[in-house]
Homo-oligomer: A and B are copies of this chain.
Amino acid sequence: MTFREDGAAALEWAASYLERVGELPVLAQVEPGDIRSRLPAVPPVRGEPFADVLRDLDEILLPGVTHWQSPRFFAYFANSASEPGILAELLAATLNSVAFLWRTAPASTELELLTLDWTAQLLGLPTAWHGHIEDTASTSTIAALAAAREATGRSVVVCSEHAHSSVDKAAKLLGLQLRKVPADPEFRLRPDALDLTDAAAVVATVGTTSIASVDPVPAIADACAAHGTWLHVDAAYAGSAWVCPEFRWSQAGVERADSVVVNAHKWLFTPMDCSLVWTSRPEDFRRAFSLVPEYLRTSEAVDSLPDYGPALGRRFRSLKLWAILRCYGQEGLQVRIREAVRLAELFERWVRDEPGWEISAPRHFSLVCFRRDGSNEENQAIVDRVNRTGELFLSHTRLDDRYVLRLAIGNERTAEDDVRRAWDALRAAAAG
């Protein structure tokens, strides 16, 4: 194998994929088992050329890819692997740094701390906080709740019924009891329903998964302060919007948090995976996670980033974040965030103006929750029908037992025409 030739072919495949991804069916149009049945059940004895791998990626795997990079991917929270981020992943894999100690990867360790400081500045977060990267918000929340348990000695976690399922998962993993607090009619945690007497932590959400609602963080922070409870803010999706001052209303009170998570791989144009965690209490993270066995002992008195989360081995994730922050700059990030929100506003207006359709929850940021007047079954049928066309992919949630459609804008390639095509497809699907 020659790396230059195979690499050129892989790069050409990538470039061509990004050019044509908008023409491919967004949701993979395959049945379970289809992809696997087309691949050999046994591994090869002899090595094969990389060109064969690339051919099979194109011919066999590609039909089984749901195209997160499509401009008409509107499901869950749409994201983007931007071009500088993709190329930085190539470079990170080439270096293959394993950053479990400063000395095993000084550049990775220092760039991680630096890019988290940069991002804190861009988002208007306190710059004295300690930032590091985990793979996903699930892990970031595990880390924060473990620190909260360590700091408080308590074992109850409180969140709204609209908090992400990763809070349930983290609590179960950590052996903590989870108490869910009701939400108000706009799907925000009701601070008057908080009882924090024995609570290790509250998880407040800025941009909930179903509807992007924003919990009242200032009131929650007051309650946490009164009871010595750790405040963890899950801003996995919406936190990226803070790069624009006009969305910082949703950041009120966050400066009083003990920890915050923002997923750069959600709306900061970073390829999977890159979940950013900041804390004002790094020593509690270290108490929860630091262990230095003899074979990892070194003389440098510096930060070791595995001291802040569950994993020991860590790859060079900050390289892609650094490449994106540099190639886009503050202005480039703002332009993209604003455009996504503008498109969501546009779609919201179309829905409002169309008889027979309704907006189901206040729109914040770039997520629109809506439905057709009619039964849950009819709405589900619309979703199934449009997703089967391959023209777009969107997902749903359930609010007060009503089936609700979600259009999440977040892919940087999404243009007004894509949103228009989605709306046309939805109305056609509703018409039968």
A residues within 8 Å of B by Cβ? 1, 3-4, 6-8, 10-15, 17-18, 27-28, 30, 32-36, 39, 41-50, 52-53, 57, 61-69, 75-76, 79-81, 83-98, 102-108, 110-111, 113-114, 117-119, 121-122, 135-139, 142, 146, 164-166, 168-170, 172-175, 209-210, 265, 271-273, 288-289, 291-296, 300-302, 310-316, 319-320, 322-323, 325-332, 395-398, 406
Contacts and interface: CB of A to CB of B under 8 A. Distances in A.
B98 A322 contact: no
A91 B330 contact: no
Given A90-B11, A209-B295, A329-B46, A65 B105 contact: yes
Nearest to A19: B3
Main secondary structure of the interface of A (DSSP, over half): helix
A36 B121 contact: no
B97 A68 contact: yes
Q: A8, A44, A92, A108 — which one has the most chain B CB atoms within 10 A of its CB? A: A44
The 4 closest A-B pairs by CB, nearest first: A64-B107, A81-B96, A89-B93, A43-B118
Contact of A330 (B44, B81, B173): B44
A186 B113 CA distance: 41
B47 A332 contact: yes
Number of identical monomers bound together in the oligomeric complex? 2
Contacts of A41: 117
A54 B17 CA distance: 23
Contacts of A57: 91, 319
A102 B153 CA distance: 39
A85 B95 CA distance: 12
A57 B97 CA distance: 14
A17 B295 contact: no
A66 B136 contact: no
B28 A106 contact: yes
Contact of A315 (B93, B139, B175, B273): B273
A327 B1 contact: yes
A68 B98 contact: yes
Contacts of A89: 89-90, 92-93
Contacts of A319: 57
A95 B36 CA distance: 18
Given A94-B17, A138-B313, A329-B48, A397 B106 contact: no
